[in-house]
Amino acid sequence: MSSSPSSPSPSSPFALAAEAAAAIADRTGTRHHDVAIVLGSGWRPAADRLGSVQASVSVSDLPGFPASTVPGHGGSVQSILGPGDRHLLVFVGRVHGYEGNSPSAVVHGVRTAAAAGCRTLVVTNAAGGIGHGMQVGQPVLLSDHINLTGQSPLTGVLPEEVPSRFVDLTEAYSPHLRALAREVDSSLVEGVYAALSGPQYETPAEIRMLRGFGADLVGMSTVWETIAARHLGLEVLGLSLVTNLAAGLGASTLSHDEVLTAGRVAAERMGDLLAQVVSRL
């Protein structure tokens, strides 16, 4: 018997996300989540500031989630009762394209969050600072991005029942959510995030190119997740933590240990910021 035209095909990544959302509901006892938060490199301690953990599920127990191979990226999804009794779905770590994952696999968590009921996505990352005057440990609101990965999670065959792949990214990062964040911390500056494939860090010549493009930050994540979220109608708040100055702009040699250390130092403060933003949603 063929499936009905209105239901996703078994091979659809959206069907897989629906299965994962159902598994999360079963394992956490929470049928509906409101806000999804993706924690980037070194951001793990921020989860402890977001509210009361109701349940934690290993991604290995959920359909469709690849395992992370990067230090500083955990492998769990937490259901947290946050400010205002909002149910938060917190992804402790993420996977990346440079680990050998397809864009669809990288955004599986975002699509799962949408299937779990989330209408807001908070995406965080560790980034190299390019903009003039940026300092290590500084949080920066994302106002826009430049996708230099050459890929998108919206390529390939999409089921007919999902929105059009030709999604408008004019306001990829919600002005409304950015305004809420500035209510919490008026010192927050905004910046444009450039995403490259990695995993190697950029050369000084590449950083000069990116600065010429108008980028203030550089990293290896986030943009695919934002594209997938906007495709499904979620509002997105992006927040980078400057964990190092980009190649040629600082005195130190770039290393992932430096990124993790800077993230750990600032993560609790970032968690408090996120909790206060969530309380205003």
Query: Is 33 among the catalytic positions?
Result: no
Given 115, 221, 231, 240, which residue is catalytic? Answer: 221
Residue type for 136, please? V
Q: What is the Rg, in whole angstroms, of the alpha carbon atoms belonging to the chain? A: 18
Given 143, 256, 258, 279, which residue is catalytic? Answer: 256
Given 17, 33, 36, 41, which residue is catalytic? Answer: 41
Query: Is 147 among the catalytic positions?
Result: no
Given 33, 96, 108, 145, which residue is catalytic? Answer: 96
Query: Is 98 among the catalytic positions?
Result: yes
Query: Is 209 among the catalytic positions?
Result: no
CA distance 32 to 113: 10
Query: Is 256 among the catalytic positions?
Result: yes
Tokens of 124: 């965080």
Q: Are strands 189-195 and 120-129 parallel, antiparallel or unpaired?
A: unpaired
CA distance 225 to 41: 15
Query: Is 101 among the catalytic positions?
Result: no
DSSP bridge partners of 122: 37, 237
Given 12, 19, 55, 99, which residue is catalytic? Answer: 99
Query: Is 267 among the catalytic positions?
Result: no
Residue type for 272, please? D
Measure the CA angle with vertex 79, ends 19 and 74; round to 5°: 85
Given 17, 21, 73, 173, which residue is catalytic? Answer: 73
Residue 276 and residue 180 in contact, taking contact as beta carbons nearer than 8 Å: no
Other Cβ atoms less than 10 A from the Cβ of 252: the count is: 9
Given 17, 126, 172, 194, which residue is catalytic? Answer: 126
Separation in Å, CA 103 to CA 109, 114, 272 = 11, 17, 30
DSSP bridge partners of 55: 79
Query: Is 99 among the catalytic positions?
Result: yes
Tokens of 9: 């095909």
Query: Is 225 among the catalytic positions?
Result: no
| Residues in CB range of 15: below 8 A, 6 or more apart | 7, 8, 9, 159
CA distance 92 to 74: 5
Given 17, 220, 246, 266, which residue is catalytic? Answer: 220
Tokens of 222: 């986030």
Query: Is 68 among the catalytic positions?
Result: no
> Would you name the residues annotated as active-site residues?
41, 73, 96, 98-99, 126, 220-221, 244, 256
